[in-house]
Structure 1
């Protein structure tokens, strides 16, 4: 795998910035909040269309954020660090546990282009027909569709927060014409919002999407800069398989050295080299069982 030199036409510093009035405006009515969420989503749509944004990496990181929110909704204590461990440090035959399963579901939901089959892979306990039925419950403009799907799922399965939020984000992505699901709602909603209905739920979803779209755009800009730096230092890496390793860092939130396509010692050396070059970070703060990410 080779990487082109940084070009001004795909300079991450040229990514459009979220208008300040989207975050500073005070809105109370459903109409005003809907206007702001539409503006935030429209801006995010532009950002997601930019070549310099590492799309798969952004979705994987947003999936982790959504999983953390869902785990918190369920009252469990696991946060980002524990969720990364639950997914990336599994041994063959091990089960990820409830929190890890939530993280796996979100990661699978964003890996492949949107389809009933892809959603069924993420939500293994649901039949394809049920997934299609719930998605069809959404009507109207994008955020209303998402809120209606979430309400439909939780009305029939009150404990299915993860399924409801994944399918709501899927409905939103479909309505916006996005090829992949982008996790947005879970991180912006509060636990109490999941028990709301009708206009109250739509208002909560609009508010959630304002904050989540702003954060997603911020992360996209940050990851674009980090990805550009990683691509710039890639030619300095001499290890066989380094190009494929860089490709993994550009698509995954976290990478264990043991998962890289290099011998163990070479993989650890490559990770240390990338840290020294400022291209990746060690994410755990541990001396062993380390994980690395852009």
Structure 2
């Protein structure tokens, strides 16, 4: 790289940083955000947390109900993810360059994945809430639609990375399209796909808590209920159980991923 190109890159980097600083300042001014004042409130915030978010013997009496709602949230996340994985596998096969039937199906599959992926799960919850109301179906569908978008994109990449020689060998022997998919593509892509499914289960369990607040279901609804009633002892217990559940599921998921990959 010559000196002229280096100076050009340096100026571009400098201009970019200046723009970022200006945008940050304008955003802080418009939202009336003051960094120094925010930092100064941190000690008081931690003091409030340690003073109010305490797990008491009285709050532990509600633990069975909390665990029941937490289980409901976890199972809903798993169900939404596994069903979405089946749909995503079909869309990925249609959308992949390796296995596509024709260009039209490929474009449609990729459009569905892009559309559902680019709308956040919270936005899907609000959209579906209008049609289905506050119930578990709304939460399930919000997680399902968002997961389809993410998994389809991930599955397409996994299928595209499959070894082409196996596909070509089966095609040369006169194997049908379905034999080529079942014998060459899916066996090679399956470990990576299972890893993505496990990742989405973890993600959806976290998202389901927020979705539950909006749809009035699961552990999210219980958290919102006690928070609005200012029962911070139960809020602390609910938060603690969610953290423990997420960490446990992540550890199990990581162990499974190490085995299958």
- Range of TM-score over shorter length: under 0.3
- TM-score by length of structure 2 reads 0.28
Identify, as 1 or 2, the structure richer in helix: 2
Look at both structures and tell me which one has the larger radius of gyration over its CA atoms: 2
- TM-score by length of structure 1 reads 0.25
